[in-house]
Amino acid sequence: MVANYIVVIDIETSRLIGMAGRKNEDGRISVLAVEEEKAGGSIRRGNIYHKEEAAGLIKRLVEKLQNRISGELPDYRIRKVYVGVGGQSLRSIDHTELKSLSLGATVTKSDLQVLDEQCRAYRPELDDVVGIAPPVYYVDGKRVEQAEGLPATYIEARYKQITGRPSIRTCVMDCVQRAGLQLAGLIVSPLALAEATLGREEKEAGCALIGFHTGVTSVAVYRHSELVHLSVIPLGAGLIIGDLVKTLKLQEQDAEWLKRSYGLSLAEKEKSNGYPQGAIAINGQEVEPRRLNAVIEGRVKEIVENVHECVRLSGDIASLGAGIVLAGNESNLKELPELLRQRFKLEITSATIRQERMEENERRLGHPNYMTAIGLLIQGTENCLQYIAPPDPEPVVVPKQDEPEIKPPPSPDGRTRNPRPANPPKGKSGLGRFIDRIRQQSEDLFSDKDFYREDEGTQKSKNDE
**Residue 451 — very low, low, confident or very high, per pLDDT cuts 50/70/90?**
very low
**Cβ 26 vs Cβ 360: under 8 Å:** no
User: pTM of whole model > 0.95?
Assistant: no
pLDDT at 361: 67
Percentage of the residues of the chain whose pLDDT score is greater than 70: 82
SS3 425: coil
Alpha helices (H) in 235-370, listed in sequence order: 238-248, 252-262, 265-272, 289-314, 336-344
Element (H, E) at 381: none
Beta strands 324-327 and 207-212 are parallel
pLDDT digits (tens, 9 = 90+) for 143-188: 998 999 999 999 999 999 999 998 899 999 999 999 999 999 999 9
- Residue 358 is given by DSSP the state B
**Residue 25 — very low, low, confident or very high, per pLDDT cuts 50/70/90?**
confident
pLDDT at 270: 56
Q: Span 271-280, mean pLDDT?
A: 61
Best CA proximity match to 206, nearest among 346, 3, 55:
346
Q: How far is Cα of residue 87 from the mean position of the Cα atoms in its chain?
A: 18
**Cβ 140 vs Cβ 154: under 8 Å:** yes
Residue 250, strand partner residues: none
Q: Across all residues in the chain, what is the average pLDDT?
A: 85
Measured between alpha carbons, how far is 126 from 123 in angstroms, rounded to an integer? 9
Other beta carbons within 10 angstroms of residue 436's beta carbon come to: 15
Other beta carbons within 10 angstroms of residue 315's beta carbon come to: 14
**Cβ 408 vs Cβ 418: under 8 Å:** yes
CA–CA distances in Å: residue 76 to residues 59, 79, 88, 384: 17, 9, 36, 10
pLDDT digits (tens, 9 = 90+) for 197-241: 999 999 999 999 999 999 999 999 999 999 999 999 999 999 999
**Cβ 235 vs Cβ 309: under 8 Å:** no
pLDDT digits (tens, 9 = 90+) for 60-108: 999 999 999 998 899 999 999 999 999 888 999 999 999 999 988 999 9
**Residue 43 — very low, low, confident or very high, per pLDDT cuts 50/70/90?**
confident
> What's the residue count for the chain?
465
Q: How far is Cα of residue 260 from the mean position of the Cα atoms in its chain?
A: 30
Q: Span 9-24, mean pLDDT?
A: 90
pLDDT digits (tens, 9 = 90+) for 183-208: 999 999 999 999 999 999 999 999 99
Measured between alpha carbons, how far is 176 from 169 in angstroms, rounded to an integer? 11
Measured between alpha carbons, how far is 128 from 164 in angstroms, rounded to an integer? 5
**Cβ 416 vs Cβ 410: under 8 Å:** yes
Q: Is the pLDDT of residue 459 over 60?
A: no
**Cβ 114 vs Cβ 107: under 8 Å:** no
Task: Characterise 206 by phi-psi region: left (phi > 0), alpha (psi -120 to 50), beta (else).
Answer: left
- Residue 87 is given by DSSP the state -
Q: Is the pLDDT of residue 419 over 60?
A: no
Dihedral, 37, 43, 44, 47 alpha carbons, nearest 10: -120
Best CA proximity match to 370, nearest among 6, 18, 13:
18
**Cβ 222 vs Cβ 203: under 8 Å:** yes
**Cβ 47 vs Cβ 120: under 8 Å:** no
SS3 127: coil
Best CA proximity match to 165, nearest among 80, 277, 15, 46:
46
pLDDT at 28: 86
Percentage of the residues of the chain whose pLDDT score is greater than 90: 61
Measured between alpha carbons, how far is 84 from 12 in angstroms, rounded to an integer? 9
**Cβ 97 vs Cβ 115: under 8 Å:** yes
pLDDT at 417: 54
**Cβ 108 vs Cβ 101: under 8 Å:** no
